Amino acid sequence: MSELAGTRVLLGVTGGIAAYKAALLARLLVGAGASVDPVLSRGAEHFIGAATFEGLTGRKVRGEVWEDVASGTHVELGRSAEVAIVYPATAHVLAKLANGLADDLLTTTLLASRCPLVLAPAMHTEMWEHAATRANVATLRKRGASILGPDDGPLMGGDTGPGRLVDPEDVLAHLVELLPGTRDLAGRTVVVTAGGTREPIDPVRFLGNRSSGKMGFAVAAAAARRGADVHLVAGPASLPTPPGVTRYDVGTTLEMHRVVLDLAARADVVVKAAAVADFRPAAVSTSKLKKAAGVPVVELEPNPDILLDLVERRGGAATPMMVGFAAETDDVEAEGRAKLERKGADLLVVNDVSGSDAGFEVDTNRVVILARDGARVDVPLASKAEVAGRILDEVVARL
Ligand code: PMT
């Protein structure tokens, strides 16, 4: 099962006896290919341990807003989540969310997120039926949250009635239904390049660039989630391979060229998010260049242009669809249009990398997608996962 392949799910767990079921949900989500970030409230930790979730999800469990302050954990988690689920959701967390209170990591993260929110309440019948809870649930529903359950059944302490947490299988089914366009790339083969290439000067030095691979990995993850058979050709990047994606690690432009041209022969779409070195040292020293020998002169020679070669190789055919990227600092759109023509791509994703919140290394991007058919789509600042989704929407519309 990989219905949720690559989907980033934020799993909030709050303090109720039913918190143990969240471990089962985490296992189901991971089994469906999702990448799960568990966030436990302090109450949840009285019922179930963080170690259980770390073991099940392979991800670090974040519990406190005071950890990793510099990296803004709540903003990072909130922005990167594609869907958030609170399972179980206590009466207390429903009240906090309805009122916009943010006094712990889970509530700050949810306030910082813009993804669909799913809440699965669990509590005693009296609490569920209380006017305050009713009002809070109505507010949350009005804001677009999905409320799953609660079921009617056995509760803590031998009671029975409405308030029982829905089963994890029901949550999984709901998430699969909720996430839009999940399978619109089913049956398609997508090749994605990501990261920067490294051109060796000597055994320890290279010419490289700042590409982290985040943008390309996000495209690969999103394409896999939408059902594509995804082949990711990655320059050196310390990122986990997205679920359901086949990865090929390469170093130099020549290596990337060889692997991509080979894979492209069976691809429907090639997305070239990699920052490829245009030049490489003409001669690579087999021993480390010595400082004492003075400042070296490194002569460069041109690398092949992978995108140009791909376009040339497909001749007049429409397949594979070619999606290029461009990182520009000045006259972004005009430069992008010119590059689209020059490279013969079908779509060109132009990043404005003049600011610090878009382009290289960061988790967000701001792009304009230019199409050969004249269309243009503005994608304002958003997570790279969201940008990836918008790019694939344009791809799917033209397949
Ligand atoms: O990896 P991140 O840190 O997340 O950063 C993402 C990114 C900024 C690297 C990415 O979004 C991006 O813009 N990638 C393209 C960078 C670029 O400037 O490309 P370019 O203008 O040099 O090349 C244009 C296109 O031709 C690209 O699709 C590139 O992959 C391709 N190209 C370039 C040179 C070459 N020799 N062969 C190529 O195929």
Asked if 232 and 152 count as a contact pair (C-beta separation under 8 A), the reply is no
What residue type is 188 in one-letter code?
A: R
89 and 174 share one domain: yes
303 found inside a domain = yes
- pLDDT for 266: 95
Give the single-character DSSP code of 102: -
- pLDDT for 7: 84
Q: How many domains does the chain have?
A: 2
380 found inside a domain = yes
Q: Which residues are identified as catalytic?
A: 209
H or E element, residue 229: strand 229-234
The last residue of a domain, from among 178, 197, 212? 178
101 and 128 share one domain: yes
Provide the CATH number for the domain around residue 203. 3.40.50.10300
Q: Helix, strand or coil for residue 175?
A: helix
105 found inside a domain = yes
Tell me, in angstroms, the distance from the centre of ligand 1 to residue 360's CA. 10
336 found inside a domain = yes
Residue the block writes with tokens 């109505």: 138
Pocket test for ligand 1, best of 191, 276, 337 (most atoms within 8 A of CB): 276
- pLDDT for 249: 97
Residue the block writes with tokens 């799913």: 118
Rounded Cα distance between 392 and 377, Å, is 12
H or E element, residue 93: helix 91-98
Atom of ligand 1 nearest to the CA of 195: 1
Atom of ligand 1 nearest to the CA of 365: 11
224 and 149 share one domain: no
196 and 345 share one domain: yes
Tell me, in angstroms, the distance from the centre of ligand 1 to residue 217's CA. 13
- pLDDT for 2: 65
373 and 241 share one domain: yes
Asked if 186 and 228 count as a contact pair (C-beta separation under 8 A), the reply is yes
263 found inside a domain = yes
- pLDDT for 182: 63
289 and 227 share one domain: yes
209 and 168 share one domain: no
Rounded Cα distance between 164 and 175, Å, is 19
Task: Give strand pairing partners of 189.
Answer: 229
Give the single-character DSSP code of 157: G
204 and 263 share one domain: yes
Q: Nearest CA to 348 among 369, 333, 332?
A: 369
3 found inside a domain = no
H or E element, residue 379: strand 376-383
Q: Which domain holds residue 383?
A: 189-398
- Average pLDDT, consecutive stretches of 10 residues, N- to C-terminus, the chain (399 residues): 78 96 97 92 93 94 70 77 94 97 94 89 96 95 87 88 96 84 82 98 97 96 87 94 86 98 97 98 96 94 97 92 94 93 96 90 93 93 88 95
Pocket test for ligand 1, best of 307, 328, 368 (most atoms within 8 A of CB): 307
Reading across the β-sheet that carries 376-383, which strands appear in turn? 245-249, 229-234, 189-194, 269-272, 321-328, 347-352, 364-371, 376-383
280 found inside a domain = yes
276 lines ligand 1 (CB under 6 A): yes
Pocket test for ligand 1, best of 254, 263, 271, 272 (most atoms within 8 A of CB): 272
Provide the CATH number for the domain around residue 115. 3.40.50.1950
361 lines ligand 1 (CB under 6 A): yes
- pLDDT for 181: 59
Tell me, in angstroms, the distance from the centre of ligand 1 to residue 5's CA. 25
Tell me, in angstroms, the distance from the centre of ligand 1 to residue 292's CA. 36
272 lines ligand 1 (CB under 6 A): yes
The last residue of a domain, from among 135, 155, 178? 178
387 found inside a domain = yes
The last residue of a domain, from among 127, 159, 178? 178
Maximal CA-CA distance, the chain: 83
128 and 236 share one domain: no
35 lines ligand 1 (CB under 6 A): no
- Rg (C-alpha) for the chain, rounded Å, is 24
136 and 271 share one domain: no
